[in-house]
Amino acid sequence: DTAVSQTPKYLVTQMGNDKSIKCEQNLGHDTMYWYKQDSKKFLKIMFSYNNKELIINETVPNRFSPKSPDKAHLNLHINSLELGDSAVYFCASSQGRESSPLHFGNGTRLTVT
Amino acid sequence: GENVEQHPSTLSVQEGDSAVIKCTYSDSASNYFPWYKQELGKGPQLIIDIRSNVGEKKDQRIAVTLNKTAKHFSLHITETQPEDSAVYFCAASSVGNNRLAFGKGNQVVVIP
């Protein structure tokens, strides 16, 4: 199936831990994103990579570090997790850098206890 | 930057009736306006989009209208069905920019 897939789907961890979320797309897109959706459903962009180059870096704590080993993968590593990091994290991809549809994964629900 | 406002926050409709969700945007340079549907436990999925060179676009039971002068665009769903129940997001972006600004979402509930 052609899709954006992210793992794990659920992640429960304690404060202070370090965790990673992986994302892969097989759509042939050259731009990938990480979005955070809070409990009120608000979608906020965190990062965007185009052909492995960071092009959007919103104001997020530097505990969050994206890594793009190639244009089909964009992983998100989070250090020293805090309660406020609990949210659903979505990976997405699109073709090109301008005004093109986003294709989202099904999300990773992160719960920090 | 772009600011997108979405109304109402919750909309309940009887099955078979129409639903309309309205969004306003602030940046007159915005030229791309997609709508996403998010079902429970899933990621948002594009259902329709419109670019600033057209005023209306239809795809079966859904349509989007754009008023550039007033800087608002609307999603119309006709003959609503229970499977239309979801959260709907509007968004906007401008030329040279794939930074989509999302509205806060509408919970649409179709009552059988």
Q: Would you place residue B96 in the very low, low, confident or very high pLDDT band (cuts 50, 70, 90)?
A: low
- The reported pLDDT for the residue numbered A54 is 87
User: Mean pLDDT over residues A23-32, rounded?
Assistant: 95
- Confidence check: pLDDT of B8 > 90: no
- The reported pLDDT for the residue numbered B98 is 66
What rounded mean pLDDT belongs to chain A? Answer: 92
Contact assessment for residue B13 and residue B80, using Cβ atoms and an 8 Å cutoff: yes
pLDDT tens, A55-79?
A: 888 878 999 999 999 999 999 999 9
Overall residue count recorded for chain B in this entry: 112
Find which of B45, B90, B100 to mutate to test the A interface (most A CBs within 10 Å of its CB): B100
- The reported pLDDT for the residue numbered A2 is 64
DSSP B20-81: EEEEEES-TTEEEEEEEEE-TTS--EEEEEEETT-SEEEETTEEEEEETTTTEEEEEE-S--
Contact assessment for residue B106 and residue B11, using Cβ atoms and an 8 Å cutoff: yes
- Confidence check: pLDDT of A38 > 70: yes
- The reported pLDDT for the residue numbered B97 is 65
- The reported pLDDT for the residue numbered A4 is 97
Distance CA B14, CA B16 (A): 6
Query: Per the structure block, which two tokens stand in for B94?
Result: 């401008």
**Identity of the amino acid at A88:** V
Tally of CB atoms within 10 A around A18: 11
| Whole-number percent of chain B with pLDDT over 70 | 96
User: Mean pLDDT over residues A35-47, rounded?
Assistant: 92
CA of B84, closest CA in chain A: separation in Å?
18
DSSP-derived letter for residue B100 is: P
The closest CB to that of B98, out of A98, A105, A107, belongs to A98
- Confidence check: pLDDT of A1 > 70: no
- Cβ-in-10-Å burial (0-12, 13-18, 19+) of B11 comes to middle
The closest CB to that of B43, out of A94, A98, A107, belongs to A107
- The reported pLDDT for the residue numbered A12 is 98
3-class DSSP state of A1: coil
Contact assessment for residue B30 and residue B2, using Cβ atoms and an 8 Å cutoff: yes
- Confidence check: pLDDT of A34 > 90: yes
pLDDT tens, B11-55?
A: 999 999 999 999 999 999 899 999 999 999 999 999 999 998 889
- How many cross-chain Cβ pairs, A to B, lie less than 8 Å apart? 61
Q: Does B111 touch chain A (CB under 8 A)?
A: no
Q: Does B31 touch chain A (CB under 8 A)?
A: yes
**Count of alpha carbons within 13 Å of B107, Cβ hemisphere only?**
8
Distance CA B58, CA A38 (A): 31
Q: Does A93 touch chain B (CB under 8 A)?
A: no
